Structure 1
């Protein structure tokens, strides 16, 4: 079940501090007496500590879809007999600082003022998330992790563990991620934040308890991001140019229509985006979205080092990089750059490429595609059958090809 822990004073990378950092987290499975089975899961941008259905916790209304990233967002991956088998592993996941699911963030109450922080909450970085997670593990008495894994910005978080605490991690699985965002995604995130901050109801971030929230700005920001999570082909296959089967007013997201709206069709793809944006604004906080996208934008795994290989040189465990061919948010080439950086220091690494047109969100929407490589990696490392780079019994670092393709058709997806 969800638990909240107070970790005391915490100084963020920006130099600002909070008097008491609170983290909300959940655990799954039974912890081994020697702590040899602890796995840390790092959630994606708008995810939460609630990775899977917990026997002691019922699902809340809404957020029942894995792609919602709110409640049981990776339920097909974490649990008894599943990819991350909680009969074998003790799984820990915490909502990161700056978010809005119980950990300290802009919506939290500042004990010094008795008011919500709003934009007075310190700016956060992915490194702050990693350090906060380390503090949580210290609190739990966990010195070393069997594995840390995450997708998207959660993959960045996992890679930061390899860089920041190499001695505390045995295996790292970095899924659908990269060492940093490219300029195109930085631009799109900038536009998304402007959608929020130009909403009159944002009120410079002090909208809490006013009865007015920047829902329209947040909805637009989410719609823009959602387009980056799907590939061009998958969007065309799913929606094409079809007109929506229901009217715009039925979808909840209230946007003003242009004068030509009555003449031209309201399309299926618009309906989809409106529906998902409406659900998102019901569960997420606009200020938190500003904070978390800033953290993702700022992350650069090689920052402060000669290059990416130098940043990761201290890690001597095993690594699985997993990429999707249809992902233009974090491309296969970006995943390969990470793998090459680990190889440069002699780290045991495999880069598994899944042939899927779905797009970036495939690791959430089609988690079965990562079952074999991730399950084998957690059990047997890079020598596991589904993650060996060349499929032989005795692959070596010298004879590995650049990556190992795994085709989505193997899992029932063309």
Structure 2
């Protein structure tokens, strides 16, 4: 991002007690910041399950903050002249505790000089919010113009409205929900069992030896299927058989590939699983996915609306018709909770066949309403609400474009 100040660092925020009651003596947080802070223009971007603080711009050579992540995960949205304009806003993204991209987690060094492993305290979405608040205090940012996040990052954004309602003016939860439904919780549980059933997992104490890459690759495959839609998978793969070379090069190698058809969709998932297993820590996957599964906006309150009662800012929910991981109806329930709490609210539904990944791969549909909401709130010209004047939802998808 030429001409825009960019800071990337890992800092200690001191002793930190997690919601489970356990503490670490020195919590380190990796973050990246873009633009200049003017006092009222800070935007916090919360990353998804396996994302990092590297939300935009070119990857730093030799940097440890991306830990192998190939590219900035929302570079189409964040940057000078883009939807989250770093020429206007001071944008901060913090790698959450429990991750393996620079912040303290299972793979980082514990008090005994060895990796924490499963001795690292269990983390929650609330811990992420509290850690981000601690980091923002270090950066001299008392209040946020907005907080935005997709997937579990959207839960993180919701938690800001619940936990720090006086510290944020606008909240943008994208492709998320107040809690996961049982089907996704079940699939996440199976994915975690793929890791812990891998003989190399060793109770989480595998550092310095073989990693449970086979289990992690399968876990990623399970998760990846939930990010796609039926129509997108059909269009992209159909039932085509993969080549012999694809079968030989797959990871993990399918032992039945030589005598049963090995299809394109399997080859794709094997490739995705293998690449992911090279760059991510299996224990971190266990920790972060469990934090997502356990999140419940209404926890400690009578309802979602009660949890949001102190938030008097504005909210824009963004959902996608092809997303079955976090559905349109779940987003509408969230929108209703914000409305019941008295917040000015819009629910922007995008007609998309890309499934849950749409918030990452369709910037032309996500960018305009996001930019307009940041600038003008629910009055933004591209911010379309599904609710009519009486507050009844019509679930009408909206089509937007950067070009008109």
TM-score range, shorter chain: over 0.9
Aligned to 1:84: 84
**1:215 maps to 2:218:** no
Aligned to 2:285: 289
> Which of residues 40, 46, 51 is equivalent to 2:44?
40
Give, in angstroms, the shift of residue 252 of structure 1. Answer: 4.5
**1:120 maps to 2:111:** no
Measure, in 2, the Cα distance between the counterparts of 1:401 and 1:388. 14
Aligned to 1:100: 100
Aligned to 2:184: 185
Give, in angstroms, the shift of residue 38 of structure 1. Answer: 0.4
Change beyond 3 A, Cα 1:135–1:70: farther
**Aligned partners of 2:46 and 2:93 also within 8 Å:** yes
Measure, in 1, the Cα distance between the counterparts of 2:91 and 2:69. 17
**Aligned partners of 1:247 and 1:266 also within 8 Å:** no
Change beyond 3 A, Cα 1:161–1:19: same
Aligned to 1:320: 316
Please list, as runs of the form range in 1=range in 2, the aligned pairs for 1:125-204 lying within 5 A after superposition: 125-204=124-203
How many corresponding residue pairs? 396
Change beyond 3 A, Cα 1:70–1:45: farther
Measure, in 2, the Cα distance between the counterparts of 1:288 and 1:253. 21
Change beyond 3 A, Cα 1:355–1:328: same
Give, in angstroms, the shift of residue 265 of structure 1. Answer: 2.0
Aligned to 1:378: 374
Give, in angstroms, the shift of residue 4 of structure 1. Answer: 0.7
**Aligned partners of 2:368 and 2:402 also within 8 Å:** no
Please list, as runs of the form range in 1=range in 2, the aligned pairs for 1:260-271 lying within 5 A after superposition: 261-271=257-267
Aligned to 1:9: 15
> Which of residues 292, 295, 300 is equivalent to 1:299?
295
Q: What CA RMSD, in Å, does the superposition of the two structures yield over aligned residues?
A: 2.2
Q: Deviations over 1:87-119 (max 9, x none)?
A: 100100010000000000000101x21111000
Aligned to 2:3: none
Q: Secondary structure at the match of 2:72?
A: coil
Measure, in 2, the Cα distance between the counterparts of 1:228 and 1:276. 14
Q: Deviations over 1:207-234 (max 9, x none)?
A: 1112x00000000000000000001111
Give, in angstroms, the shift of residue 366 of structure 1. Answer: 1.8
**Aligned partners of 1:53 and 1:75 also within 8 Å:** yes
Q: Deviations over 1:112-131 (max 9, x none)?
A: 21111000000000000000
Alignment TM-score, normalising by the size of structure 2: 0.93
Measure, in 2, the Cα distance between the counterparts of 1:247 and 1:272. 13
Change beyond 3 A, Cα 1:411–1:236: farther
- Which segments of 5 or more consecutive residues in structure 1 lack a partner in the other structure? none
Aligned to 2:4: none
